[in-house]
C-alpha cells in the first residue's frame, strides 16, 4: 500500500482487477529464514502463483508485467544518475584546474604507420547497409586466408592494429581492418539500436562475404573482441580461428564468484556514465577531448605506449567526424539488444585469448570464465594493461602469428 496507494484506485476504477501483495519478508507476509529464499527466481514464482490463484491466463497479466517493466527501468536510470553526479563534479573540477600537455615522458615520437612489404590500400566497402572505411593489406588471391581485425573503443582500425597489420600481412595473409560503424569516416546510423552486437556481428560477416571467403580468422580487441565473440557464437562456420584481446564473453561474467563480480562491477562503473546521453558526451568532449587524452595517459603505464601522432590522429577523428556519440552507442546498444544468446551453445572455433593482466577495466577472472564458454580455448597472459597490442606489440604479434601458423600446419 505504501508504494502503490496513489495508483491502485485509478487503475481499479478504469475496470481492472488490481492485486497488490506485500511480498515475502514484508509487513505481515511470510518471512522464511535465509537469503536463498529471496532469490529473484523464487520471488518471480510468487508473482506467477498469484496470477494462478486468480485463475488468470498469462495474457491477462500484461498490465502487471508492464508496471514491473516501468519500475525496473526507473530503478536503472535512478542508479545511473546517482553514480553519474559525483563523476560529473569530479570531472568538472579536474578539467578546470588541470591542462593536458604532450609530455615527452608520456608520449613517444613514433609515428602511426603500417610497415609492410605487401600492397596496402584503403577502400570504402558497403556491408550490411553500411559503408566501412577499410584497410586492406596483402594480395586478394583465393589461396590466402583472410584475417579480419576488429578494433575497440575508442580507437579506429589503424590506431588499434598498426603494429600488427604489416607482420601478419607479410606472413602471407590477406588482412582486412575496418573502421567499424560509427567510427572515423564509416557510416553512422542514428540511434543506439543500430549498434546492438547482433547487428555489428552481421557487419563483420558481410565483410567476409565481400571478399568471397567461406570463413576468416577473426581477431578482436575490446569492443572488437565482444563482436568477434558474437560472430563465433552465431556464425561459427564463418570463423576459421578466433583470437580475442582483453574482451570477455557472456560466460566470463556468468562464472564470476561474488567477490570477483563485485570487483568487476566497480571496474565497469564507467558504463553507467556512458549510458547517459548528452552527459557522457559533455564530459568526454570538453576542453578538446581532455578526458579522452587523459585515458591514454592513464593506461600507458608511463612507458610511451602511445605516440604524439596517435593522440593527434585520435583527437582529429573525434573533432572532425562526429564519432563520439556513435562510439558511445556501442554501450547504449547493449540496453536495446533484443536478440538473446543461447548460453548452452559454446563457442566452437579454436580460440586464443591474449590478456593484459594489468587491465584496470576488465579483471583476469573474466578471461578465465570466458574459457568455460569455449570448446577449445587457451589463455596467453601478458604483463600489460588493457591496450595490450599497443603496450607490448612484439609479444602480441608473435603470439598471434604462432596461433596462425598452427592453422597452416593443420
**Distance between CA 135 and CA 334 in Å, rounded?**
27
Q: How many helices (H) and strands (E) does the chain have?
A: 15, 8
5 is catalytic: no
Active-site residue flag, 331: yes
Among this protein's residues, is 151 annotated catalytic?
A: no
* Cell representation of residue 185: 569516416
Which of the following is catalytic: 173, 195, 330, 331? Answer: 331
Of 403, 351, 357, nearest in space to 383 by CA: 357
> How far, in Å, CA of 200 to CA of 180, rounded?
8
Q: Give every CB contact of residue 282 below 8 A, 6+ residues apart in sequence.
A: none
C-alpha span between 136 and 215 (Å, rounded): 17
β-pairing, 174-178 vs 130-137, is antiparallel
Name the CA radius of gyration of the chain, rounded: 24
Residue 299 C-alpha cell reads as 593506461
Catalytic: which of 151, 194, 314, 386? 386
Query: 222, 310, 330, 359: which is the annotated catalytic residue?
Result: 222
Q: CA-based angle 174:160:111, to the nearest 5?
A: 100
How are beta strands 216-221 and 351-356 bridged, if at all? Answer: unpaired
Catalytic annotation, residues: 222, 331, 386
Amino acid at each position: 500500500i505504501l508504494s502503490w496507494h496513489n495508483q491502485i484506485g485509478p487503475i481499479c476504477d478504469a475496470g481492472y482487477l488490481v492485486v497488490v501483495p506485500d511480498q515475502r519478508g514484508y509487513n505481515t507476509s511470510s518471512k522464511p529464514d535465509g537469503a536463498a529464499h529471496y532469490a529473484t527466481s523464487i520471488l518471480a514464482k510468487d508473482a506467477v502463483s498469484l496470477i494462478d490463484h486468480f485463475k488468470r491466463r498469462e495474457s491477462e497479466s500484461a498490465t502487471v508485467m508492464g508496471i514491473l517493466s516501468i519500475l525496473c527501468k526507473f530503478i536503472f536510470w535512478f542508479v545511473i544518475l546517482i553514480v553519474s553526479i559525483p563523476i560529473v563534479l569530479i570531472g568538472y573540477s579536474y578539467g578546470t584546474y588541470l591542462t593536458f600537455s604532450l609530455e615527452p615522458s608520456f608520449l613517444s615520437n613514433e609515428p602511426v604507420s603500417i610497415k609492410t612489404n605487401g600492397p596496402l590500400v584503403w577502400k570504402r566497402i558497403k556491408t550490411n547497409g553500411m559503408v566501412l572505411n577499410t584497410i586492406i593489406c596483402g594480395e586478394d588471391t583465393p589461396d590466402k586466408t583472410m584475417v579480419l581485425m576488429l578494433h575497440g573503443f575508442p580507437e579506429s582500425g589503424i590506431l588499434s592494429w598498426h603494429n600488427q597489420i604489416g607482420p601478419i600481412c607479410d606472413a602471407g595473409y590477406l588482412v582486412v581492418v575496418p573502421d567499424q560503424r560509427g567510427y572515423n569516416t564509416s557510416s553512422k546510423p542514428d540511434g543506439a539500436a543500430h549498434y546492438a552486437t547482433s547487428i555489428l556481428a552481421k557487419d563483420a560477416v558481410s565483410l567476409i562475404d565481400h571478399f568471397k571467403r567461406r570463413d576468416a580468422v577473426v581477431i578482436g580487441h575490446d569492443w572488437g573482441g565482444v563482436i568477434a565473440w558474437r560472430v563465433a557464437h552465431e556464425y561459427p562456420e564463418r570463423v576459421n580461428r578466433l583470437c580475442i584481446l582483453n574482451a570477455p564473453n557472456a560466460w566470463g561474467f556468468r562464472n564470476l564468484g561474488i567477490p570477483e563480480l563485485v570487483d568487476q562491477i566497480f571496474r565497469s562503473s564507467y558504463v553507467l556514465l556512458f549510458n547517459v546521453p548528452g552527459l557522457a558526451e559533455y564530459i568526454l568532449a570538453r576542453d578538446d577531448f581532455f578526458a579522452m587524452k587523459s585515458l591514454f595517459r592513464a593506461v600507458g603505464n608511463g612507458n610511451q605506449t602511445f605516440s604524439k601522432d596517435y593522440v593527434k590522429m585520435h583527437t582529429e577523428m573525434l573533432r572532425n567526424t562526429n564519432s563520439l556519440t556513435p562510439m558511445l552507442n556501442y554501450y547504449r546498444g547493449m540496453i536495446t539488444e533484443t536478440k538473446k544468446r543461447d548460453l548452452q551453445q559454446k563457442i566452437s572455433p579454436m580460440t586464443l585469448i591474449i590478456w593484459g593482466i594489468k587491465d584496470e577495466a576488465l579483471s583476469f577472472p573474466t578471461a578465465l570464465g570466458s574459457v568455460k564458454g569455449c570448446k577449445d580455448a587457451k589463455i596467453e597472459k601478458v604483463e600489460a594493461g588493457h591496450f595490450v597490442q599497443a603496450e607490448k606489440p612484439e609479444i602480441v604479434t608473435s603470439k598471434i602469428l604462432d596461433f596462425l601458423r598452427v592453422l597452416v600446419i593443420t
